[in-house]
């Protein structure tokens, strides 16, 4: 027996390929949407992994430092070092801001870290580590910065000395690493006008500016300027200690919140990007419905165009099963063309997206199964129409 | 399968066949006690005015509608007997009946050979054997030179010959032809009749040709007239075709 579906496809391949192409672009968009979500999840994992931390100690009652803002004193880490099971503890700051290079601006997450401690990028793709205390930066390749370039963060110029790869925030912004002191200054230090203003206001407050207490005003203004805060303390755990136990210790004794890596992943993936995931899920559902409608419509009209031939086929003794499988095979063929086009398209345009697009083979397999199921379901309308055709109509009147 | 004593060696026999469409006031008696017999190797004409029941009779014989009453024998096998009908109608149509229509109704996405070979393939023959059979028939019908062509590239007469080859492909004992020469000029119409007569005698096929076509009516040796669902038999001119 010959393949009726295959022959029909070969006979009207132009229409078939064009339809498959249109369907394929739609499937390509669908795969890309899934890839965007996977990319976000992967970015989050990579960021957590590259931080080198086992625990994140943050402000009590917050889910910082990535999902919510968190602010703790920068001397807390010393107390943490004294806790059982803590190997290293290092201050870090995170601040998303515009970083200038010449006339252009790049949105980036500026990370303040202490060189040689958790929070430092694990490896560089170019250049060297930060060696001087001030005004050196490491930039992620996604910023477009190059080693040796000058960039401006708030009031100061920095020179880029090294590059990282795949270091992006959960929002997809590339990271720029500077020393903790520089970052604290950029984040917490007020500019000159604000300081002058604040001083004047403090001096005008009779409760603070007491003629009978010399030095009080100076002490107060000094404390206002040196606002020493960080967003989190990254902690590594000693061998033989469970991160969860150490985290419980931090929570109990230090009036801080502490998260393990698993909990941090949960916060980033389940909470921070869950809205994005739902959004993408909505798109996937709509695209699946639109694809199904297209396949159903095309297969249905193609079948209606063959009603006479189907009546003849039935009259000369073709089984209903053969006719149904012809239509089903055509729908699946359309799905196959569509999926191939979609996969190629998604692979081709994926790298051009500003955010990381991760096309997982597993998603491709799942997508393929869904496309095939959708095509099969979509063909049922046409199959019903074909099976209803009365072979007597072939004989005519 | 019922093979009645009296039906062995019968090409087509219809006895007391009635067909009523619809019910009550809307009922139409399209066939009223129609009788007809065609011997193997014989080509018989069926003529009658519009609405007289010709197509209804073909549809009953072709097992696509069920008669109301009567008895039908096709290729020596009883296919209908007063409410009883043969169970596998699809196989009956595939193996025992060849259909030829006014328009060729070829399958556009199959080439000429496969349009014919499809019949034996549907009957479960291997592709190679089915195509060899198709080619043999195309040769006999003088269209073998177009064997690998698309059906849409053929002339009307060539298409009709291919459809005749398709009808013959499973060597059915019976061929039902509904106005097979209507779209053809007189020369081609006579050519089709020549082919049908040759095939009938070559393969011992019983052939009924429904027609209005004045060009071919003189070629029948025997003609059934049908009027208001009733058949009457008469001798035809039986004009020689060669
Ligand atoms: N499906 C049907 N339902 C009801 N009545 C029908 C149906 N098919 C045919 N008839 C009626 O049965 C009668 C016979 O119809 P039939 O089609 O057999 O005529 P015919 O001899 O083939 O005519 P023509 O030469 O015009 O094709 C007509 O009166 C027709 O209206
Ligand atoms: Mg008719």
Q: B193-230, pLDDT tens digit by residue?
A: 998 999 899 989 999 999 988 889 999 999 999 999 99
Nearest to A186 by CA among A100, A115, A63: A100
Q: What is the pLDDT of residue B187?
A: 85
Flag whether B112 is in a domain. Answer: yes
Q: What is the pLDDT of residue B14?
A: 95
And the tokens for A237?
Answer: 């755990």
Q: Which residues contact A180 (CB under 8 A, 6 or more apart)?
A: A74, A91, A92, A93, A112, A113, A114, A230
Q: For residue B104, how far is its CA from the centre of ligand 1 (angstroms)?
A: 21
Whether A185 shows a pLDDT value over 90: the answer reads: no
Cβ neighbours of B91 in A, within 8 Å = 317
And the tokens for A321?
Answer: 């099963």
Kindly state the average pLDDT of the residues A209-219: 76
Write the pLDDT tens digit of every residue in A220-235: 776 666 667 888 999 9
Flag whether B240 is in a domain. Answer: no
- What is the SS3 assignment for A51? helix
**Structural domains in chain B (count):** 1
Distance between CA atoms of A301 and A222, rounded to whole angstroms? 80
Region class of A148: left (phi > 0), else alpha (psi between -120 and 50), else beta: left
Ligand 1 in reach of B51 Cβ (< 6 A): yes
Cβ neighbours of B108 in A, within 8 Å = 11, 309
Other CB atoms within a 10 A radius of the CB of residue B207 amount to: 25
Q: Which of B59, B94, B101 is the closest to A317 by Cβ?
A: B94
| Nearest residue by C-alpha to atom 11 in ligand 1 | B30
Scanning chain A, the segments in alpha helix (DSSP H) are 4-11, 13-51, 76-81, 180-188, 192-204, 216-225, 243-254, 261-265, 274-304, 307-315, 320-349, 361-388, 392-395
Please answer yes or no on whether B55 and A8 come within 8 Å at the CB atom. Answer: no
Kindly state the average pLDDT of the residues A47-65: 86
Distance between CA atoms of A85 and A243, rounded to whole angstroms? 8
DSSP per-residue codes, A265-328: HIIIIIIITHHHHHHHHHHHHHHHHHHHHHHHHHHHHHHHTTHHHHHHHHHTT--HHHHHHHHH
CATH assignment of the domain containing B73: 3.40.50.300
Cβ neighbours of A397 in B, within 8 Å = 55
Write the pLDDT tens digit of every residue in A232-275: 999 998 888 888 988 888 888 778 899 999 898 888 888 777 88
Ligand 1 in reach of B55 Cβ (< 6 A): yes
Among the ranges given (A206-210, A222-226, A381-385), the one the predictor scored with the smallest mean pLDDT: A222-226
Q: What is the pLDDT of residue A275?
A: 80
The percent of residues in chain B predicted with pLDDT above 70, rounded, is 97
Q: Which of B95, B105, B123 is the closest to A308 by Cβ?
A: B105
Q: What is the pLDDT of residue A293?
A: 86
Nearest to A35 by CA among A265, A350, A354: A350
How does residue B1 score in pLDDT terms, banded at 50, 70 and 90?
low
Cβ neighbours of B51 in A, within 8 Å = none
Q: What is the pLDDT of residue B4?
A: 53
Element (H, E) at B196: helix B186-203
Mutate to test the pocket of ligand 1, among B25, B26, B28, B34 (most ligand atoms within 8 A of CB): B28
Tell me the pairing of strands B174-178 and B97-100: parallel
Q: Which of B64, B94, B105 is the closest to A392 by Cβ?
A: B64
Distance between CA atoms of B214 and A392, rounded to whole angstroms? 26
Write the pLDDT tens digit of every residue in B97-133: 999 988 888 999 999 999 999 999 999 999 999 999 9
Flag whether B241 is in a domain. Answer: no
Flag whether B210 is in a domain. Answer: yes
Q: What is the pLDDT of residue B134?
A: 95
Whether A207 shows a pLDDT value over 70: the answer reads: yes
Instruction: Find out whether A110 and A178 touch, Cβ atoms under 8 Å.
Output: yes
How does residue A170 score in pLDDT terms, banded at 50, 70 and 90?
confident
The percent of residues in chain A predicted with pLDDT above 70, rounded, is 97
Distance from chain centroid for Cα A41: 5
Q: Per-residue b/e over B11-23, b at no fewer than 16 CB within 10 Å?
A: bbbbeebbbeeee
Q: Which has more pLDDT, A197 or A353? A: A353
Q: What is the pLDDT of residue A226?
A: 62
Write the pLDDT tens digit of every residue in A270-317: 877 788 788 888 888 888 888 888 888 888 888 898 898 899 999 998
Query: Is some CB atom of chain A closer than 8 A to the CB atom of B166?
Result: yes
Which DSSP category does A100 fall into? Answer: E
How does residue B81 score in pLDDT terms, banded at 50, 70 and 90?
very high
Q: In whole numbers, what is the pLDDT of chain A averaged over residues?
A: 87
- Of chain A, the end-to-end C-alpha distance in Å amounts to 31
> Could you tell me which chain A residue has the CA closest to the CA of B175?
A316
| Nearest residue by C-alpha to atom 12 in ligand 1 | B30
Distance between CA atoms of A223 and A213, rounded to whole angstroms? 17
How does residue A336 score in pLDDT terms, banded at 50, 70 and 90?
very high
Q: Which residues contact B194 (CB under 8 A, 6 or more apart)?
A: B241, B242
Flag whether B225 is in a domain. Answer: yes
> Could you tell me which chain B residue has the CA closest to the CA of A6?
B109
Q: What ipTM describes this predicted complex?
A: 0.89
Instruction: Find out whether A210 and A64 touch, Cβ atoms under 8 Å.
Output: no
Q: Is A152 exposed, middle or buried (0-12, 13-18, 19+ CB in 10 A)?
A: middle
Cβ neighbours of B117 in A, within 8 Å = 2
**Residue ranges making up the domain that contains B172:** 5-21+29-234
Mutate to test the pocket of ligand 1, among B52, B57, B67 (most ligand atoms within 8 A of CB): B52
Q: What is the pLDDT of residue A227?
A: 60
Distance from chain centroid for Cα A222: 42
Query: Is some CB atom of chain A closer than 8 A to the CB atom of B149?
Result: no
Among the ranges given (A46-50, A209-213, B138-142), the one the predictor scored with the smallest mean pLDDT: A209-213
The model's pTM: 0.77
Write the pLDDT tens digit of every residue in A84-138: 888 888 999 988 889 998 889 999 999 999 988 888 888 889 999 998 888 999 9
Whether B181 shows a pLDDT value over 60: the answer reads: yes
Please answer yes or no on whether B91 and A395 come within 8 Å at the CB atom. Answer: no
Other CB atoms within a 10 A radius of the CB of residue B28 amount to: 12
Instruction: Tell me which residue has tokens 């083979």.
Output: A361
Kindly state the average pLDDT of the residues A27-36: 89
Ligand 1 in reach of B30 Cβ (< 6 A): yes
């Amino acid at each position: 027996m010959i393949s009726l579906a295959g022959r029909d496809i070969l006979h009207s391949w132009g229409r078939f390929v064009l339809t498959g192409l249109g369907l394929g672009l739609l499937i390509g968009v669908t795969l890309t949407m899934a890839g965007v979500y996977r990319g976000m999840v992967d970015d989050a994992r990579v960021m957590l992994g590259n931080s080198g931390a086992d625990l994140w100690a943050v402000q009590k009652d917050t889910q910082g430092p990535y999902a919510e803002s968190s602010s703790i004193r920068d001397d807390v880490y010393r107390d943490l070092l004294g806790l059982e099971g803590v190997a290293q503890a290092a201050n870090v700051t995170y601040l998303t801001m515009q970083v200038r290079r010449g006339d252009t601006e790049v949105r980036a997450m500026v990370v303040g870290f202490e060189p040689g401690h958790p929070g430092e990028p694990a490896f560089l793709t170019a250049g060297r580590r930060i060696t001087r205390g001030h005004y050196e930066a490491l930039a992620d390749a996604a910023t477009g910065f190059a080693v040796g370039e000058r960039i401006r963060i708030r009031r100061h110029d920095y020179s880029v000395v090294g590059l990282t790869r795949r270091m992006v925030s959960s929002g997809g912004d590339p990271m720029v690493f500077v020393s903790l002191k520089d970052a604290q200054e950029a984040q917490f230090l007020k500019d000159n006008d604000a300081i002058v203003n604040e001083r004047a206001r403090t001096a005008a407050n009779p409760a603070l500016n007491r003629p009978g207490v010399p030095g009080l005003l100076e002490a107060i203004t000094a404390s206002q300027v040196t606002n020493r805060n960080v967003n989190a303390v990254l902690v590594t755990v000693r061998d033989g200690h469970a991160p969860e136990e150490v985290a419980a210790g931090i929570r109990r004794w230090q009036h801080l919140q502490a998260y393990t890596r698993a909990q941090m992943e949960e916060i980033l993936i389940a909470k921070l990007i869950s809205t994005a995931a739902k959004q993408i899920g909505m798109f996937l559902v709509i695209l699946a419905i639109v694809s199904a409608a297209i396949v159903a419509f095309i297969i249905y009209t193609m079948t209606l165009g063959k009603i006479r031939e189907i009546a003849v086929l039935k009259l000369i003794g073709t089984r209903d099963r053969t006719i149904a499988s012809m239509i089903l095979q055509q729908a699946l063929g359309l799905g196959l063309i569509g999926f191939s086009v979609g996969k190629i398209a998604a692979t081709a345009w994926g790298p051009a997206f500003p955010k990381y697009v991760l096309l997982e083979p597993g998603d491709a397999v799942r997508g393929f199964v869904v496309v095939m199921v959708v095509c099969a379901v979509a063909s049922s309308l046409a199959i019903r129409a074909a099976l209803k055709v009365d072979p007597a109509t072939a004989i005519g009147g | 399968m019922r093979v009645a004593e009296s039906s062995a060696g019968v090409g087509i026999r219809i006895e007391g066949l009635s067909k009523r469409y619809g019910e009550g006031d809307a009922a139409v008696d399209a066939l009223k006690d129609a009788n007809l017999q065609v011997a193997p190797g014989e080509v018989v004409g069926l003529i009658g005015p519009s609405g007289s029941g010709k197509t209804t009779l073909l549809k009953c014989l072709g097992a696509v509608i069920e008669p109301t009453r009567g008895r039908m024998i096709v290729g020596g096998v009883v296919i209908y007997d007063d409410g009883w009908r043969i169970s596998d109608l699809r196989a009956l149509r595939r193996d025992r009946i060849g259909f030829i229509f006014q328009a060729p109704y070829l399958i556009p996405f199959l080439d000429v050979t496969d349009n014919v070979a499809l019949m034996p393939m549907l009957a479960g023959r291997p592709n190679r054997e089915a195509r060899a059979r198709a080619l043999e028939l195309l040769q006999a019908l003088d269209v073998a030179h177009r064997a690998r062509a698309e059906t849409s590239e053929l002339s009307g007469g060539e298409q009709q010959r291919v459809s005749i080859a398709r009808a013959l492909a499973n060597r059915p004992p019976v061929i039902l032809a509904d106005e097979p020469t209507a779209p053809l000029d007189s020369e081609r119409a006579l050519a089709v009749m020549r082919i049908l007569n040759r095939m009938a005698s070559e393969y011992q096929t019983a052939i009924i040709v429904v027609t209005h076509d004045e060009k071919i009516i003189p070629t029948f040796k025997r003609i059934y007239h049908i009027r208001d669902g009733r058949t009457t038999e008469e001798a035809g001119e039986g004009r020689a075709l060669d």
